[in-house]
Amino acid sequence: MSGKKLPPIRKSIDVHVPPARAFDVFVRKMHDWWPAEYTPFPRSSIVIEPKADGRWYEKGVGGEEGNTGKVVEWQAPNRVVLAWQIDGTWKYDPKLVTEVEVRFTSDGNGGTHVALEHRDLDRIGELAEPTQAMMDGDEGWSALLKRYAAAVKGA
């Protein structure tokens, strides 16, 4: 551990679909918006099992599987909390748990406010600060949420 408590990363985006559809695209169609280059093998899908303690993993076209984490809480269609178990070298670590909480709130006009919080990044240890800086920067969660919003629009 670096010993320094890091603040959570908070990002949000508004999409023009109801919360149930926004939730569905986030968790069941992640392969449509999560960059393929983030997977170390040719990917066929990303799976988030729809239950607490469900797996979060990528499936390869050749049958490979790569773990990302697990489901901590599943409250469809309003909230999901995922354990992000990727370390500062971008490898899966089953002992590491940082949390990604995503809330889907109706805006009252048929759209949804999607609020993401990635917390406990200090648990990554020595690489916590550079990892957080990258994930909080333009190429991190902000870019991912823009890709997600485009997938929602096209879904």
**Distance (Å, whole) CA 59 – CA 80:** 21
So what's the pLDDT on residue 40? 84
**Distance (Å, whole) CA 1 – CA 20:** 38
Per DSSP, 77 falls in state T
pLDDT band with cut points at 50, 70 and 90 for residue 3: low
Reference 112, options 24, 31, 10, 29; nearest CA is: 24
Give 106's strand partners. Answer: 112
In the chain, what percentage of residues exceed pLDDT 70? 98
So what's the pLDDT on residue 38? 84
Give 81's strand partners. Answer: 73, 101
Largest CA distance in the chain: 45
pLDDT band with cut points at 50, 70 and 90 for residue 24: very high
The predicted-structure confidence for 115-143, as pLDDT tens digits, reads as follows: 999 999 999 999 999 999 999 999 999 99
